Chain A
Amino acid sequence: MKAARFESAPFLAPAAALLAVVTAVPMAYVVWLSLEVRTPFRAPAFVGLDNYLRLASDGRFWNALWNTAYFTAASVALELVLGLAVALAVARAGRTRALVYGAILVPWAIPTVVSARMWEWMYNPETGVLNYLLGARVNWLGDPTWALHAAIAMDVWKSTPFVALLLLAGLQGIPRDLYRAAATDGASAWTAFVRVTLPLLMPVILVAAVFRTIDALRVFDAVYVLTGGGPANGTETLSIYAYKVLFQTLDFGYGSALAVAMLAVAAAATLAYARLLREGAA
């Protein structure tokens, strides 16, 4: 296979080069930046772990971490449950299926920034359609607790279709015979769901959970455009806090340390899931 080694190199090299420039080098560089003090109007200087010590005692960082974790846990859980319900319904749809697919692709395809602006307009306390339909006068985005849940609701709207589409593909892989056998054995629809559908769908459910968790942890545009992280930092996630320190305070040292913290959180989640997937496969 010596020939193959040389043969494949020119095919792989261009992709490797771009990945090196756009992801690998920046990843090493961000770690270096996080060990420096880098603020406007002064020369960058190496300060070791100072930025990380500051981070450990920064209440706003812990607040952002908590918001990120809560946002992720709540939206991913809701998306999995609703996505499964949608997938089970659409799987029985027959001829109308293409129509339903078309409709649920809309939230998936829509730019996140647009979806944030749309929901901001619906959440508007005076002229928003939500308060009108509910006959309420809730200041959805003006109250820290409501605002975080409003952001979660928007994410659930936008991302449930992705989960539903993955699970639908998974459902189609379950052999019909198993349901016929279950029915012959006198199993109820519920028993068939618990004993056949859920266990056989579990690998796909896990994959959907991985994709959604990674994506929700790094949430930026959805919340940044909807609330800007407010009110009172009630919706500030790790990505938003890091972005503000980087581009509003122009503190590239501490901002990079926050970015590395985000990287660490994403890596920890990836490792945890990788382990879960391996156990599932074994």
Chain B
Amino acid sequence: MRRLGLWAGLAAVMAWSLAPFVWQLLTSLKPVAELEALPPLLPGSPTLEHYRAILAGEPFGWLMLNSLVAAAGATALALVLGSLAGFALAKLRPPGRAATLAAVVTLSMLPPIATVSPLFLMVSATGLHDTLIALVLVYAGFALPLAVWLMTQFFRGVPDELYIAARVDGCSALGAFVRVMLPLATPGLVATGLLVFIFAWNEFLFALSLTASTAARTVPVGIALFPGLHEVPWGEIAAGSVLATAPVVLLAIAFQRRVLDGLTAGAVKG
């Protein structure tokens, strides 16, 4: 009886989590006529017309590419800078370590709206408005506190002896970092990279304020500003939603273990 209650509870949790997205998926497959009435809940004659429409008529493919470049660029930059700093904080014992880590945590609390007006002026003044470079720099900067924090935690998990042995064998600090420490921290790099990539792929406020055209506009902005002169094109929005969601949800599920490591490292241990 208790077993049954548990199963019912778990089924409810799964249904509640998945239902809205499943509904969006069904919506994206319904012909326009079927969108205007309920029932039936399921598409009577499923169609890919909405997917064809956004990929052909609208520049949705460009937006996907922009999102990919911005998110991948920010992830690479945050991983390089974050692992360098995390390694130093975990293994080189610089003075003021605790204060630095506290400052890093405080910076991660910064609300994006607080810096959007100066960043807009700075980006415009340097001619970077409506470029992916601006998005890569801003995303990497905003994700960096998290990356530094996580990489510090992961490098702490690598025994000091391995670092000292590498130095005794004649490696420089950088050599020991690249040849010994980084390979051992690969799971941490993957976890951190996933969180940064998902954050950057999903970001909206900066993408909305710092871009103006398909030159740099990302998928979330495209979905928020979906053209709808007379009627809201719900089918096309649903198709766009499915395409925008697929990469991050597939990544999160494929690398479930790593995502959970990243989400809980620091929060639970720290």
A62 proximal to B (CB < 8 A): no
Interface size of A as a range: 35 or more
With a CB–CB cut-off of 8 A, which chain A residues contact B57?
none
For residue A25, which residues in chain B have a CB less than 8 angstroms away from its CB? 118, 122
Asked if B36 CB lies within 8 Å of chain A CBs, one says yes
What's the Cα separation between A84 and B82 when bound, in Å? 32
Verify A211–B267 contact, CB threshold 8 A: yes
Query: Which residues on B are within 8 Å of A, measured CB to CB?
Result: 6, 9-10, 13-14, 16-18, 20-21, 23-24, 27, 35-39, 41, 77, 80-82, 84-85, 87-89, 92-95, 100, 106-107, 109-122, 137-138, 140-142, 144-145, 148, 173-174, 177, 198, 201-202, 204-205, 209, 219-221, 223-224, 226, 234, 237-238, 241, 244-245, 248-249, 251-253, 256, 259-260, 263-264, 267-268
Chain B residues positioned under 8 Å from A61 (CB to CB): none
Closest chain B residue, CB of each to CB of A255: B117
User: What's the minimum C-beta distance from A22 to chain B, rounded to whole angstroms?
Assistant: 3
Q: A residues within 8 A CB of B95?
A: 1, 4-5
In the complex, what's the smallest C-beta–C-beta distance from A163 to chain B, in angstroms?
11
State whether B6 touches A89 (Cβ < 8 A).
yes
Chain A, residues 82-94, CB within 8 Å of chain B (1/0): the string is: 0000100110110
A18 at the interface (CB under 8 A from B): yes
| Chain A residue with Cβ nearest B34 | A127
Can you show 22 pairs from A to B with CB atoms below 8 A apart?
A: A1-B93, A8-B88, A11-B177, A12-B85, A15-B85, A22-B115, A29-B122, A33-B118, A90-B10, A93-B10, A99-B14, A104-B17, A107-B20, A109-B248, A112-B220, A113-B223, A127-B37, A127-B38, A132-B39, A204-B267, A221-B205, A239-B205
Q: How far is the CA of A33 from the CA of B224 in the complex (A)?
A: 28
Q: Which residues of B contact A100 (CB under 8 A)?
A: 10, 13-14
For the complex, give the distance between the alpha carbons of A118 and B14 in Å. Answer: 17
A113-B223, A166-B263, A259-B117 are known; give 10 further A-B pairs, CB within 8 A.
A14-B81, A18-B141, A19-B145, A106-B249, A113-B204, A122-B23, A127-B38, A157-B17, A169-B264, A169-B267
A219 to chain B, nearest CB (A): 10
Say which one of A50-58, A144-152, A180-188, A242-250 lies at the interface with B. Answer: A242-250
Interfacial chain B residues near A19, Cβ < 8 Å: 107, 141, 144-145
Q: What residues of chain A lie closer than 8 Å to B6, measured between beta carbons?
A: 89, 92-93
Asked whether A11 and B85 contact (CB < 8 A) given A19-B144, A103-B13, the answer is yes
Q: How far is the CA of A105 from the CA of B256 in the complex (A)?
A: 8
Q: Among the listed B10, B100, B209, which residue makes an inter-chain contact with A89, where contact means beta carbons less than 8 Å apart? A: B10
Identify which of B37, B85, B140, B219 gathers the most chain A CB atoms within 10 Å of its CB: B85
A-B contact count (CB 8 A): 280
Q: How far is the CA of A270 from the CA of B268 in the complex (A)?
A: 18
Contact A98 B17 (CB under 8 A): no
Q: How far is the CA of A217 from the CA of B111 in the complex (A)?
A: 8
Judging by beta carbons under 8 Å apart, are A101 and B267 in contact? Answer: no
Complex contact B148–A29 (CB within 8 A): no
Q: Which residues of A contact B (CB under 8 A)?
A: 1, 4-5, 7-12, 14-16, 18-19, 21-23, 25-27, 29-30, 33, 86, 89-90, 92-93, 96, 98-119, 121-122, 124, 127, 129, 132, 157, 161-162, 165-166, 169-170, 173, 204, 207-208, 211, 214, 217-218, 220-221, 224-225, 238-239, 242-243, 246-247, 252, 255-256, 259-260, 262-263, 266-267, 270
Q: Are A30 and B114 in contact (CB under 8 A)?
A: yes
- Select the residue from A105, A108, A116, A129 with max chain B CB neighbours within 10 A: A105
CA distance A242 to B260 in the complex (A): 34
List of B residues within 8 angstroms of A27 by Cβ: 110, 114-115, 118
